[in-house]
């Protein structure tokens, strides 16, 4: 299975929505909470091409985007292709 990383904060409704979608699709992920770490937030911003909002989601080190982007991938039938659940 692919390496899925999601940068979040504890009070972000979009983060909760993205994690809920991943959970419903039985896609495991590594959550990185940037709430209290300037260093982790800077890392996220650099990896995400300057985006500072959360969540920021990566699949196999490829930047997917935020919650809406993840949902769009799912609706288009491309989320599971990226994650390759059959492997």
Average pLDDT over residues 61-83: 96
CATH number for the domain harbouring residue 59 = 3.40.30.10
Task: Give pLDDT, residue 85.
Answer: 52
Range of the domain at 68: 4-83
Chain centre to alpha carbon of residue 71: 11
Fill in the DSSP letter of residue 84: T
The count of domains in the chain is 1
pLDDT digits (tens, 9 = 90+) for 14-69: 999 999 999 999 999 999 999 999 999 999 999 999 999 999 999 999 999 999 99
Q: Please report, to the nearest 10 degrees, the dihedral formed by the alpha carbons of residues 12, 18, 39, 50 taken in order.
A: -100
| Rounded distance between C-alpha atoms, residue 5 and residue 60, angstroms | 8
DSSP output for 21-82: HHHHTT---EEEE-TT-HHHHHHHHHHTTT--SS-EEEETTEEEESHHHHHHHHHTT-HHHH
């Amino acid at each position: 299975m692919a390496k899925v990383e999601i940068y979040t904060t504890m009070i972000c409704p979009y983060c909760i929505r993205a994690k809920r979608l991943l959970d419903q699709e039985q896609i495991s992920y590594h959550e990185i909470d940037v709430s209290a770490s300037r260093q982790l937030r800077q890392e996220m911003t650099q990896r995400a091409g300057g985006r500072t909002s959360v969540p920021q989601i990566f699949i196999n080190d490829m930047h997917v985007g935020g919650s809406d982007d993840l949902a769009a991938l799912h609706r288009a039938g491309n989320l599971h292709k990226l994650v390759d659940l059959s492997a």
